[in-house]
Structure 1
Amino acid sequence: MNQRILFFDLARCVAAIAVIAIHVLAPYRNELGTIPFNEWLTAVTINGFSRWAVPVFILITGALMLSDQRPFDAQYYLKRRLGKVLIPFIVWSLFYTYLSGWSAMGFNAEVSWEVLLNSYHHYTYYHLGFFYYFIPLYFVIPFLQIMVRKHGDRSVYAFTAVWLFTTLLFLLKIDGPWSHELWLYTGYLPLGYLLYKLVPLNKMTVGVSVLLGGLALLITVYMVVDVSVVAEEYTVGRWLSYKTLNTVLAASMVFMLCRYCGEGLSDKSNQVVGFISKHSLGIYLLHPIFLWPMKAFGWFQGHPAWVIPLWIVVSGTGALWLSWLVAKSPKTSWLLP
């Protein structure tokens, strides 16, 4: 396996685990003053240290799509790229519309119906929000590919520099046209290409990314904890947004670390990482099924330091198994591209 394959496999794996962690810890976030402070702090710290997960998936997409030198084929692109994600998203949205009606008290059809009616502008289940801002990026990617091919690397540096500045403005709540969601997510695409193709891979570049990303994580957690304690309730401002500079720096750090460590894994580790990576989208889509009983029945009693890892393993393993099972049959494999 070459470096590129190992690198992307590893990045998908750690991002998938971090996504599950964010969803597992959700019940603890608003418990400030209800549970012991150290338990709340543990959950909030894990949350703050995991916000890079979704951006890393977008960075990977940017690195792959913008480095693709093949001529653009609209029919292929719509069918094999956009359609491959859009159709499963619709199917799983309908499934989770149904699941949303279930609780410890049983099934409530009115809840599911209301969720369905609002699905055109609001996700049917908490983890599907990713697709509402990820799918529109497929309409932006062809234009970014043209930018890279016609105007070269300088255009990528310029575009990314402007975008980074706007993520800082957004973090500081200085709003304007740059605060539009599509713009703030779009910037991750050329950044992924830049980190993959233009930034040299050496100890200095990795060290700088770790320094900046590490500081960003520490500042993020400190700010969330500080404003929450002062307000006496869980308050995050924009510090946990995917569209702010602190999250960008953290995601870039993880991206560069995976790129740096990708070749150092053993053959056995590569096999495990490759298998998980192959089913990473399936894990993303399916893990809430295995988290449902935890949230519906309140099976998260205990210190987050052991409850969160336990449910990451339970839901992650269950989702991986189910994804593998679905992918085995040609009749169902299209559900998890």
Structure 2
Amino acid sequence: MVLLHVSAFNTANVPFKSHEWNVFMVFEALTNWAVPVFVMISGAMMLSKDYSYKDVLRKAGKLAFVFFIWSFLYLISDILIHGSSAFVKDFIWLQVFLQGHYHMWYLIMLFGLYLIVPFMKPIAKDKKLIKAFLILAFIFGFFWPSVRDLMMIEKFKKILSVPFFGAIYRALVNITDDLHLQMVLGFVGYFASGYAIHQIPEMNKKKAAICSLLMFVFGTVIVFCGLKASNSEGMAYTYLKYYQFGVFLQAAGLFMLFKHVGTCGLVSLIAKLSPMSLGIYLMHPMILEILNKRDVSTLSFTSEFSVPVLTIVVFAVCALITKLLCMFKISAKIVKL
């Protein structure tokens, strides 16, 4: 996640499809699965246990507390970095505080997923229901939106110029819009997929590794093909959106790999970093912005090296600060749920 945000930090500040832009987008395309994988882990954990609505509300309350504490800290940080004048007009500061920093949308999304856990649980317990739910999520949440985005590319637009195919496509667009299947769209599909993959019985490690890696590679190829075919920056980012079929395959492949093949001896490292993951996630944009203010960014030197080097620096600083915060009971509450 840190690598994703480091690589994306200056993408808008370089020319479209320049060398730097291409390097940044390669890093983004290779790490864009991070948020979906986190959601899948949450789904595997939350739907595997019995939570009462009271338990869920308690968890959601802790999440809200962490959100507003960090939203306040980022508001102060933004005022110190950019000045107060930009935030005073039209209560911009209040809007910024209530909606949080750009990366904190994840906490809001997770809050929503927490609220539907008691309703998702009966679906998850029933094999037929969860299978039907996942099929709907796959078709309407990932596959069909990706097809619609594909039709934005000039090569595929020619297909729609044929009256017969154009009529069918427009009809399908209108029909699927009118279905309003919001229940299976977005991150709910990842949430349920994480649980479903977690429930798959142990597989042969070799077969699981081959299957998982094929999914990841195929998904990555789809993402890169979309980026290559893009004729604008806005269209390029379309193929990095989380509902994209390629991103789904990347996330599902990696999650399956870790579940059935293991973490390749990284258990002890993951165990040490796991308690700090939320703190690192919440803190890293602030460290990135402070460094950028000091003219230390991915544009400071060659992009191929600046992205990984800056990622390591930001990650290390965040991990150290989070570890220090975890040493005290009061401060630990803002970096742990």
TM range (shorter): 0.7 to 0.9
2:106 maps to a residue whose letter is F
Shift of 1:192: 0.4
Equivalents in 2 of 1:330, 1:283: separation in Å?
A: 18
For the residue of structure 1 that corresponds to 2:236, the secondary structure is coil
Task: Give the CA deviation at 1:259.
Answer: 2.0
* Letter paired with 1:185: F
1:244–1:317 distance in 2 versus 1, CA, 3 Å: same
2:288 maps to which residue? 291
Q: Which amino acid aligns with 1:155?
A: L
Cα-to-partner distance string for 1:203-240 (whole Å, 9 max, x where unaligned): 3243223212211112212312331xx34x46325211
Match of 1:220 in 2: 223
Aligned to 1:76: 55
What are structure 1's unaligned runs of at least 5 residues?
1-18
Tell which deviates more after alignment, 189-198 or 205-214: 205-214
Answering whether residue 28 of structure 2 is matched by residue 65 of structure 1, we say no
- Taking the aligned partners of 1:298 and 1:199, their CA distance within structure 2 comes to 51
Measure, in 2, the Cα distance between the counterparts of 1:178 and 1:247: 23
1:319 corresponds in structure 2 to 318
Find 2:113's aligned residue among 127, 137, 142: 137
Moved more, 185-194 or 256-265: 256-265
Residues 210 and 253 in structure 1, CA contact (< 8 A), matched pair in contact too = yes
- What is the match of residue 37 of structure 1? 18
Cα deviation for residue 109 of structure 1 reads 4.7
Please report how far the alpha carbon of residue 280 of structure 1 lies from its aligned counterpart in structure 2 after TM superposition. 0.6
Gaps of 5+ in 2: 149-172
Q: Distance in 1 between matches of 2:215 and 2:77?
A: 41
1:127 aligned residue (103, 112, 119) = 103
Which one of the candidate residues 141, 148, 170 is aligned to 2:124? 148
Write the letter of the residue equivalent to 1:241: K
Change (3 A) 1:27 1:259: same
Which residue of structure 2 aligns with residue 3 of structure 1? Answer: none
Give the corresponding residue for 1:162. 136
What is the correspondence of 1:4-23 to structure 2 with a 5 Å cutoff?
A: 19-23=1-5
- Work out which of the two has the higher radius of gyration on C-alpha atoms and give 1 or 2: 2
Cα deviation digits, residues 286-324 of structure 1 (max 9, x gap): 111211123334422222211111111111111111111
Give the alignment's TM-score, normalised by structure 1.
0.82
The residue that corresponds to 2:94 in the other structure is 116
* Deviating more after overlay: 298-307 vs 318-327: 298-307
Equivalent-residue separation in structure 2 for 1:20 and 1:87 (angstroms): 23
Matched residue, 2:167: none
- Provide Cα deviations, 1:19-45, integer angstroms capped at 9, x if missing partner: 1111111234235537x8333211111
Note if 1:55 corresponds to 2:24: no
Structure 1 residue 116 displacement after superposition: 2.4
Moved more, 84-93 or 252-261: 252-261
**For residue 305 of structure 2, what is the aligned residue in structure 1?**
306
- On the 8 A contact 1:195/1:256 being kept in 2, the answer is yes
Say if 2:33 and 2:250, in contact at 8 Å, map to a contact too. yes
**Structure 1's 179 and 287: CA in aligned 2 closer, same or farther, altered over 3 A?**
farther
- 1:117 & 1:31 partners in 2: Cα distance? 25
Identify the structure with bigger relative contact order (alpha carbons < 8 Å, sequence gap 6+): 1
Structure 1 residue matching 2:238: 3-state secondary structure = coil
**Which residue number corresponds to residue 158 of structure 2?**
none
User: 2:62 is aligned with what amino acid?
Assistant: K
Contact 2:136 2:184 in 1 (8 A): no
In structure 1, the residue matched to 2:163 is none
Report whether the alignment pairs 1:196 with 2:178: no
Q: What TM-score comes out, normalization by structure 2 length?
A: 0.82
Q: Which amino acid aligns with 1:335?
A: I
The one-letter amino acid paired with 2:8 is A
In 2, the alpha carbon distance for the partners of 1:245 and 1:98 equals: 38
Looking at structure 2, the residues matched to 98 and 280 of structure 1 have their Cα atoms a distance apart, in angstroms, of 23
Equivalent pair of 2:276/2:322 in contact (CA under 8 Å): yes
What fraction of aligned residue pairs are identical, expressed as a percent?
21
**Contact 1:170 1:179 (8 Å CA) reproduced:** no
CA contact (8 A) 1:25 1:47 kept: yes
Equivalenced residues, count: 303
Alpha-carbon distance in structure 2 between the residues aligned to 1:273 and 1:284: 15
Give the equivalent residue in structure 1 for 2:238: 238
